[in-house]
Structures are given as C-alpha cells and as structure tokens.
C-alpha cells in the first residue's frame, strides 16, 4: 500500500501533525529532517522542545548504541541499575548542586503529563487540599488530572467528564490593570471569595502553547513570595521551556526562585526518547513506596541518553549559546517584521510571531513547509507562529530558517 494511504486507512483520525506536514519522514540529523523522497527540511519545531540538542546528536547516539551492543538492561521498572545510578549522581552533582538545588528525583511514567500528575498527587498529599491553581493560557498535558489544568477549550472538551478541583487565574498579560498577584492574594484572604485555598499553584515561566508569553522575573518572584506567605506549593512545569531552552537549564533560574516541585520531560530524554522527572524539595518526599508508579518509569535507554544529553549541554556551554543566539533571533525578527503587523515575543530560543489571526498563521506555516521548514503554531486561535529551533543549530541554518519564516510572514501579511 502507498505509505500515506497506510496512515489514512489504519491510523485514527486523532492524528494531527501529519496533516500539517504531509510528508513521510525517514531520517534526521541536527536541525535537518529528511523525508522518504530525500527532501530536506529545517526543523524549527523540534518535537515541541523534545530534541533541544539536535536530532541524532552523535555524542548521545553513540552511547545508546554501545549500551545496546553491550546488552545493557533496557527494562527494569524502578529497580536500581548502573545507568540510573550514574544519571542520578550526575544530575545531582553537575546540574542541581551548582544551581543551589537539592531536589529529590522521582522517575515517573515517561511523559510530561505523567510528571504533572505525580506533582499534583504529591502537592495534594502534602497539603491535604484538593484544589490546584493554574493560569489561563496554560498547557500541562492531556491525562485527566493534567487536563483539568490545561486551559484550551479544544483539549478540555475531550475529557468527557467535568474537569474539576482547579481554579484558573488570569495570566498577567490578560487584563491590563489587574495585578494578578494581588488578585490571588485577595482570593486567599477574602473570607467571601468562594475560592478554595489550593495545595499548589502551577505555572510555566513561559507559556508556550498559550502563545509564547514570557513572565517577567518580578512576577515570578511575586508568585514565589505569595506561595510562601500562604503555605502554597509552587510547581514549575518546565517540560517545554526547561533543558536550557530559555538560556538557563531551568527556566526559573533567571528569576532566582526555587520552586517546590519541578516537572521535566521532553529534552531531558536527550535525544527524543520518552522520559520525565518530577523533582521536589526533600521535605515534600512523603510518598509511600509505589504510591505513584508506571511500567516505563525506568526507561533505561532514555536514562543513558539523558545523562549524555546533560553532559553535552554542559560541555558545549549550550546555555550561553542559547543566550547568544537569542539576540540573533530577536534582532532578525524585529528587523524584518513590522511591529504594527505582528507582535514578536520570546526568550532564549523560543519565540513567537503573533499575527493575530489563525488563518494567517496557518498560511504562514504552510508556506514555510513548502519552502522546506517545519514550524508550528500556538496561542489563542493558534495565531502565533512558534519558533523552536534546536539549541545546537548552526548560525547559518538559523539565519536561513529565519529568512524562510520572515518571507512567509511577509507574503501573507503583505508588507
């Protein structure tokens, strides 16, 4: 059967990205994806942040091949393994400690949403409260507890049951004259607010799916402070913008705050393998053994890749590189896109071009694909073209990609 026909015939209608990028892909290297016909594409999507260190990063890949060739144990549930020990020690010693963090590490089912579910269970258990506060505009996953947080209508309506125990708080960019910190303060202190005190407030420091909204450091500090004063846990979902995407390994470093719980996934898997971690302060570690579990929580191959990825990041000063390239991206976009036509927002190597209209953004990404570049959309009405190139992308490829994008924007917005 013709390959595309295979998908139409056998795969569920739920498939989505294959509709935007209707090629059959075969290989990938760095920032280039190649389809079965040999056509190459710049990847400015990067699995929504899952391959920050580039496709098939050789350093990481070699470790995997060696592990396989050596019959390294691949499936071990949450038993102790050599590779896991090495990862754990490296992560604590080389990543957490230098950043002043001493989180306990929980290996969860290898998806971001599973990490969020674990975080919610723990927060509720620790604080003995049912409610969680999340921000309007947020995205935290698609399994039920995470989905109750996730704010977009399309995702929510899939639940089929009411999504409860969550209160959505206006995001700071939504109402010009509303101080969202003091709004939350009022909800907590007004004895007639009708809103339950939450176990935790969960945030992304940059709302990615919400449309690339970067929360400033002062707001993040305000949130940390509010949570401290009211005995509320602060959870940072760093699934999409962690792993150096914003210029520091953890996205909250720029605000000098320490969340109580952090969720990592996507690029923590190093090379695109399923992996997720939930990190939390040691005093919160009141789990009973096995109270949250899952068959693939010890995905050894991903653990090997994870350590290799972290090593790579540190050795190649990826954080500094991101900061450098960030300026490059910003300058290019602001230079080429008139500010009265679209809004350019971002940090590190996650940027959005908000063209204020879903049809325009769709036309832009379609044109990009025709011109050999894969890029996705986000935000309200999907009106934001979302740039997430690999952090390792060579400057020239980055500039070439930006050129394709800006040209597409220009052709659609007609300036």
Query: In the stretch 24-53, what mask flags binding to its own copies with x, by CB under 8 A?
Result: xxxxxx---x--x--------x-xx-xx--
Provide the 3-class DSSP secondary structure of residue 2: coil
Contact 282, 250 (CB under 8 A): no
Residue 17 Cα distances to 14, 135, 211, 374, 408, angstroms: 10, 26, 18, 10, 19
- With CB under 8 A as the contact rule, the residue among 42, 112, 329, 365 that binds its own copies is 112
Of 99 and 410, which CB lies nearer to its own copies in the complex structure?
A: 99
User: Does residue 326 touch its own copies according to CB under 8 A?
Assistant: no
Phi, psi at 124, each rounded to 5°:
-65, -35
What DSSP state is assigned to residue 79? S
- With CB under 8 A as the contact rule, the residue among 40, 59, 88, 406 that binds its own copies is 88
Contact 265, 275 (CB under 8 A): yes
User: Does residue 68 touch its own copies according to CB under 8 A?
Assistant: yes
User: Does residue 155 touch its own copies according to CB under 8 A?
Assistant: yes
d(CA 150, CA 142): 8
Q: Which range binds its own copies by CB under 8 A, 185-193, 221-229, 335-343, 346-354?
A: 185-193
Q: How many CB atoms neighbour CB 144 within 10 A?
A: 13
What number of CA atoms fall less than 13 Å from residue 195's CA on the CB side? 17
User: Does residue 98 touch its own copies according to CB under 8 A?
Assistant: no
User: Does residue 159 touch its own copies according to CB under 8 A?
Assistant: yes
Q: Which range binds its own copies by CB under 8 A, 18-26, 227-235, 324-332, 360-368?
A: 18-26
Of 290 and 414, which CB lies nearer to its own copies in the complex structure?
A: 290
By C-alpha distance, which of 178, 256, 254 is closest to 224?
256
Q: Which range binds its own copies by CB under 8 A, 154-162, 230-238, 393-401, 404-412?
A: 154-162
Pairing verdict, β 213-214 and 206-207: antiparallel
- With CB under 8 A as the contact rule, the residue among 38, 100, 191, 327 that binds its own copies is 191
d(CA 50, CA 143): 19
- With CB under 8 A as the contact rule, the residue among 39, 98, 178, 320 that binds its own copies is 178
Q: How far is the CB of 348 from its own copies (least distance, A)?
A: 19
- With CB under 8 A as the contact rule, the residue among 40, 78, 185, 400 that binds its own copies is 78
Footprint (CB under 8 A) of its own copies, residues 206-235: 210-211
Q: What is the DSSP string of 138-163?
A: ----SSHHHHTT---HHHHHTTSS--
Query: In the stretch 235-254, what mask flags binding to its own copies with x, by CB under 8 A?
Result: ----x---------------
Q: How many CB atoms neighbour CB 276 within 10 A?
A: 28
d(CA 217, CA 222): 8
Footprint (CB under 8 A) of its own copies, residues 330-349: none
Q: Which range binds its own copies by CB under 8 A, 11-19, 252-260, 325-333, 404-412?
A: 11-19
């Amino acid at each position: 059967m013709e390959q595309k026909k295979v998908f139409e015939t056998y795969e569920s209608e739920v498939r989505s990205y294959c509709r935007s990028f209707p090629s059959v892909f075969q290989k990938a290297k760095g920032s280039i994806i190649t389809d079965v016909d040999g056509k190459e594409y710049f990847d400015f999507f990067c699995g929504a942040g899952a391959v920050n260190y580039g496709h098939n990063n050789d350093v990481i890949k070699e470790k995997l091949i060696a592990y396989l060739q050596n019959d390294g144990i691949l499936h071990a549930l949450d038993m102790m393994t050599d590779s896991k020990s090495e990862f754990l020690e490296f992560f604590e010693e080389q990543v957490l400690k230098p950043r002043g963090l001493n989180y306990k590490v929980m290996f969860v089912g290898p998806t971001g949403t599973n990490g969020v579910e674990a975080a919610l269970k723990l927060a509720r258990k620790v604080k003995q409260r049912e409610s969680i506060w999340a921000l309007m505009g947020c995205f935290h996953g698609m399994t039920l507890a995470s989905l109750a947080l996730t704010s977009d209508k399309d995702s929510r309506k899939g639940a089929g049951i009411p999504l409860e125990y969550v209160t959505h708080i206006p995001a700071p960019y939504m109402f010009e004259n509303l101080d969202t910190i003091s709004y939350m303060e009022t909800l907590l202190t007004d004895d007639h607010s009708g809103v339950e005190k939450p176990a935790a407030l969960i945030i992304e420091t940059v709302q990615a799916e919400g449309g690339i909204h970067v929360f400033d450091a002062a707001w993040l500090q305000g949130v940390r402070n509010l949570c401290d004063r009211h005995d509320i846990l602060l959870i940072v979902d760093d699934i999409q913008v962690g792993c150096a995407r914003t210029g520091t390994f953890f996205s909250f470093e720029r605000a000098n705050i320490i969340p109580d719980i952090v969720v990592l996934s996507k690029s923590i898997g190093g090379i695109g393998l399923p992996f997720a971690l939930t990190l939390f302060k040691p005093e919160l570690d009141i789990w009973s053994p096995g109270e949250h579990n899952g068959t693939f929580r010890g995905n050894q191959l991903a653990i090997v890749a994870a350590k290799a990825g972290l090593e790579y990041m540190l050795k190649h000063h990826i954080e500094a590189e991101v900061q450098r390239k960030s300026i490059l991206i910003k300058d290019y976009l602001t230079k080429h896109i008139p500010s009265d036509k679209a809004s350019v927002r971002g940090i590190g190597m996650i940027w959005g071009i908000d063209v204020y209209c879903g049809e325009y953004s769709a036309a832009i990404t379609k044109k990009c694909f025709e011109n050999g570049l894969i890029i996705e959309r986000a935000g309200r009405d999907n009106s934001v073209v979302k740039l997430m190139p690999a952090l390792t992308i060579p400057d020239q490829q980055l500039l070439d990609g930006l050129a394709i994008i800006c040209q597409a924007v220009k052709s659609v917005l007609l300036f």
